[in-house]
Amino acid sequence: MELDPGTVAIIQLAWSRLLKFEDTALAGDPAERLFRVDDVSGMLMFVTLFGKEAFVGPGWAVDAARTLPGTELRQQGTLLSLSRGHGGRGLGEAQLYFSDTLPELGALEAATVSSEGGFVQALERMCPPDDVAEAGLGGLEHRFVLLDDEGPGEPVPLAGAGYAPWAGILAHLSVLTAPPHRGRGLGGRIAAVAVEEAMAAGFVPQWRARTDNTASQRAARRAGFAFGGTQTSVALG
């Protein structure tokens, strides 16, 4: 799918603010890479968005990045090499997807969805710690859990999704599916609920998938999201 030009402009505005550039910076000439020196945040970040590139980090990192092509800066290994003498620690290499189309929710008519914290906690206990930490579902204010309540006992959480507002514009999505129920499209189904709620609140939904997580990338596309760019981050010290 393709995003409406107006949606693209809103996403560019949001990321310009997140990276602390001028509001229209990421809407500028794609041939000109953006740089911002930040000596206090303790992080290197390289973002590509609709063809525009932006790099944020300490002065020594900015100087080194000016000589490297974007294809290299997108790789976490490159940023780790740049920061080897500064305690660099990889935070992730990811793809960014966005949506401006309401999802189809017909498949959820017979399902049960809850926002109760107990079901979120039960879902997280069923998942590997790394998946729980990446999704961060329990720390979100807006979260939804798809339940199987057809059994004789307590409802069983199948998958959950939620969002966090970014820059007052984007709804950054998190999706978590219990391992026994993966591969059934349940993550996409509950993500559709979060997307509808986010859009009703006036946000543009954003889905971030690790570059090595092809399942998440497929789920994003199935949910109607369009590829918009990449984000690679390294913490210092």
Query: What does the pLDDT average to over 137-154?
Result: 88
Distance CA 220, CA 97 (A): 7
The model's confidence at residue 110, banded by pLDDT at 50, 70 and 90, is: very low
Domain co-membership, 51 together with 114: no
Looking at residue 109, what is its pLDDT? 47
**Strand pairing class (89-98; 34-37):** unpaired
- 147, 51: one domain: no
pTM confidence score? 0.91
Chain-wide mean pLDDT for the chain? Answer: 93
Q: For the chain, what's the residue count?
A: 237
Tokens describing residue 149: 């309540």
Q: Which DSSP symbol is given to 101?
A: S
Same domain (yes/no): 118, 49: no
State the CATH number of the domain containing residue 174.
3.40.630.30
Residue 138 maps to a domain: yes
The rounded percent of the chain whose pLDDT value lies above 70 is 97
